[in-house]
Amino acid sequence: MSDLNMKERFLKALKGEEVDKVPVLSVTQTAIVELMDKTGAAWPAAHSDAKLMAELAYASYEVCGLEGVRAPYCLTVLAQAMGCEVNMGTKNRQPSVTGHPYQDGIANLKMPDNLLSQGRIPAVLEAMKILKEKTDGKVPVIAGMEGPITLASDLCGVKKFMKWSIKDKASYNAILDFATEACITYANALADAGADVISVPDPVCSPDLMSPDAFKADLKPRLQKFAAAVKVPMILHICGDVTAIIPDMADCGFVSISIEEKVKDLAGAKAKVAGKVTICGNVSSPFSLLQGTPEKVKEDAKKALEAGVDVLAPGCGIAPDTKISNLQAMVEARNEFYK
Ligand SMILES: [Zn+2]
């Protein structure tokens, strides 16, 4: 058992199989400014250049000791390829969607020709190939991408999306199905390019934005369709206190779910999903990793391990101004836990 490499250990832990120790890595945004300075692979260039993208991802393994490499660093690649306008951000600010191709309606809904050659998709696929080669089957390669619900809301604008969810079910259903289709195509391309696992943050599913009833009735079926059609294991990440939707998240067909520290009762969450999915998380990204001391990070990490987390990871995307030493502390906490 102890001769498992990092990739084998992570894949087993995700499926809930027995491992010698819980893997420690990030399934959410992983790049930080200190690593950009060390490697010279900095945002915003590293969002579009395959070599820089791969180099920055590899540094979180090489320098911080995280047991996986993850790219890219935003939730806008597919949205942009489908016609959204994107502000590429700065060295410590992520890209964001600023313009929506279907804000006036779905009359002209059309999948771009050659979706996989649009925008930054070729660069991300190339980065997956580089990472697969560089890690040589020893370290898991994790691709990140926006989920179908967040993509749908980016395509029409989140206000329009919420409005349609109540007043125009035809448009709402059409944009959701359209986005789901695109996510399936893109995710399978990421897998073909070398991603061992795909991590799917879908923040618009959060109970902060959509009701648990809407999640169950409208969003879950799309997530199920998505998960069933993709050839590698996927992780579903939803932000905020998702306690109310955890049982439904566990039914979406993803192998694992990633949750924040806002879910107060991690052990209770584990019990609810037992036998269905595993749990990644939930060291606080803003309060411990960004603002806390290494001691605080270790305290949170050990709490998560004691509660039975399957993969020790940040609860949400790592803030770019987070210190290397705090990510290293998360790894040390895992090591100390098994001494
Ligand atoms: Zn999140």
pLDDT tens-digit series, residues 225-257: 999 999 999 999 999 999 999 999 999 999 999
Q: Is the pLDDT of residue 137 over 80?
A: yes
Best CA proximity match to 61, nearest among 127, 9, 130, 6: 6
Give the type of residue at 71: A
Residue among 116, 190, 109, 197 nearest 155 (CA): 109
Q: What amino acid occupies position 5?
A: N
Q: 3 C-alpha to center of ligand 1: Å?
A: 33
Q: How far, in Å, from the CA of 261 to the mean position of ligand 1?
A: 10
Cα–ligand 1 centroid distance for 113 (angstroms): 31
Distance from C-alpha of 93 to C-alpha of 163, rounded to nearest angstrom: 29
**pLDDT bucket at 282, cuts 50 / 70 / 90:** very high
Going across the sheet that includes 311-314, the strands are 69-71, 141-144, 197-201, 234-237, 256-258, 278-283, 311-314
Assigned token pair, 48: 């579009």
What would the mean pLDDT of 28-49 be, rounded to a whole number? 98
Centre of ligand 1 from the C-alpha of residue 259, in Å: 7
243: CA distance to ligand 1 center in Å? 14
Q: How far is the CA of 315 from the centre of ligand 1 (A)?
A: 7
Contact 35, 65 (CB under 8 A): no
Residue position matching structure tokens 């279907």? 102
Per-residue pLDDT tens for 92-124? 999 999 999 999 999 999 999 999 999 999 999
Q: What is the CA radius of gyration of the chain?
A: 19
Express each pLDDT in 306-322 by its tens digit: 999 999 999 999 999 99
Any idea which fold 6-337 has? TIM Barrel (3.20.20)
| Cα–Cα distance, 10 to 195 (Å, whole number) | 13
Number of Cα atoms under 13 Å in the Cβ half of residue 267: 5
Bridge-based pairing of strands 96-99 and 85-87 is antiparallel
Instruction: Give 178-229 pLDDT, tens digit per residue.
Output: 999 999 999 999 999 999 999 999 999 999 999 999 999 999 999 999 999 9
Q: How far is the CA of 144 from the centre of ligand 1 (A)?
A: 12
Output the CA 339–ligand 1 centroid distance in Å: 31
Distance from the alpha carbon of residue 319 to the mean position of ligand 1, in angstroms: 11
CA of 240 to the centre of ligand 1 (A): 7
Q: How confident is the model at residue 133 (pLDDT cuts 50, 70, 90)?
A: very high
Cα separation, 154 vs 10, whole angstroms: 31
Average pLDDT of the segment spanning 154-180: 98
Q: How confident is the model at residue 2 (pLDDT cuts 50, 70, 90)?
A: low
CA 239 to ligand 1 centroid distance, Å: 4
The model carries a pTM of 0.98
* Spatial CA neighbour of 227 closest among 148, 124, 280: 148
Residue 18's SS3 state is coil
Are 66 and 32 spatial neighbours (Cβ–Cβ below 8 Å)? no
| Cβ-contact 60, 132 below 8 angstroms | no
Distance CA 77, CA 72 (A): 8
| Single-letter amino acid, residue 58 | Y
Judged on CB neighbours under 10 Å (0-12, 13-18, 19+), 138 is: exposed
Computed over every residue of the chain, the mean pLDDT equals: 97
Banded model confidence at residue 140, pLDDT cuts 50, 70, 90? very high
Residues contacting 258, CB < 8 A, separation 6+ = 27, 28, 199, 201, 235, 236, 237, 238, 279, 280, 281, 313, 315
Residue 293, token pair as written in the block: 């001391």
Percentage of the chain modeled with pLDDT above 90: 99
Mean pLDDT of 266-293: 97
- Ligand 1 centroid distance, CA of 100 (Å): 22
CA 248 from centre of chain: 18
Tell me how far the alpha carbon of residue 258 lies from the centroid of ligand 1, in angstroms.
8
CA of 2 to the centre of ligand 1 (A): 32
The pLDDT confidence band at residue 1, using thresholds 50, 70 and 90, is: low
Asked if residue 282 lies in contact with residue 266, where contact means CB atoms within 8 angstroms, the answer is yes
pLDDT in tens, 60-82: 999 999 999 999 999 999 999 99
Distance (angstroms) between ligand 1 centre and the Cα of 29 equals 9
Gap from CA of 206 to ligand 1 centroid (Å)? 9
How far away, in angstroms, is 241 Cα from ligand 1 center?
10
pLDDT of residue 3: 86
% of the chain at pLDDT higher than 70: 99
249, 242 Cβ separation under 8 angstroms: yes
Q: Which amino acid appears at position 197 of this protein?
A: V
β-strands 85-87, 256-258 pairing: unpaired
Cα 107 to ligand 1 centroid, rounded to whole Å: 32
